[in-house]
């Protein structure tokens, strides 16, 4: 059950944002084997003064088109699945919105299954 939050600068079209969401979701279906309809994603848009990033951190040149993607998921995936997810997200975004690979920052936060409640105040996995 991934929970995905995307941070970006304000100013992109609704079509662009939908393509971002679709690109990431399709990567999760392919690389993380998430079930159909397991889609919980948000985009947070920021004014330029509220969107700060290392323009050259680790010698990667980033632009203001940067997408900061945080995925919270169960700690059940292998290293190979994680690497496949990162590569597939970038590939999908490059293909669908023509973003530079350097402008895709992904952070994966892993949690145990009992840390989720999908509604009703119940720990469905616990």
Q: What is the pLDDT of residues 9-60, one digit of tens each?
A: 999 999 999 999 999 999 999 999 999 899 999 999 999 999 999 999 999 9
Other CB atoms within a 10 A radius of the CB of residue 110 amount to 13
Give per-residue pLDDT as tens, 90-119: 999 999 999 999 999 999 999 987 887 888
Q: What pLDDT was estimated at residue 124?
A: 80
At residue 78 the predicted structure's pLDDT band, cuts being 50, 70 and 90, is very high
Catalytic status, residue 35: no
Which residues have CB under 8 Å from 5's CB, separation 6+? 41, 42, 44, 69, 70
Q: Where are the domains of the chain?
A: 3-115
From the candidates 2, 35, 48, 101, give the one annotated as an active-site residue: 2
Spell out the alpha helix ranges (H) of the chain.
Answer: 14-31, 79-97
The CATH code of the domain at 3-115 is: 3.30.429.10
Which of the 8 DSSP states describes residue 42?
E
pTM for this entry: 0.92
What are the residues whose beta carbons fall under 8 Å from the beta carbon of 7, sequence distance 6 or more? 43, 44, 46, 51, 67, 68, 69, 70
């Amino acid at each position: 059950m991934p929970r995905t939050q995307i941070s970006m600068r304000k100013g992109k079209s609704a079509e662009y944002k939908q393509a971002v969401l679709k690109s990431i979701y399709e990567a999760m279906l392919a690389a993380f084997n998430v079930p159909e309809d397991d889609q919980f994603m948000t985009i947070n848009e920021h004014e330029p003064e509220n969107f700060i990033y290392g323009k050259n951190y680790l010698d990667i040149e980033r632009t203001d088109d940067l997408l900061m993607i945080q995925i919270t998921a169960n700690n059940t995936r292998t290293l190979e699945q994680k690497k496949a997810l990162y590569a597939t997200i970038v590939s999908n975004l490059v293909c669908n919105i023509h973003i530079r690979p350097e402008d895709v920052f992904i952070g994966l936060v892993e949690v145990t299954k009992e840390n989720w409640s999908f509604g009703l105040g119940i720990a469905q996995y616990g």
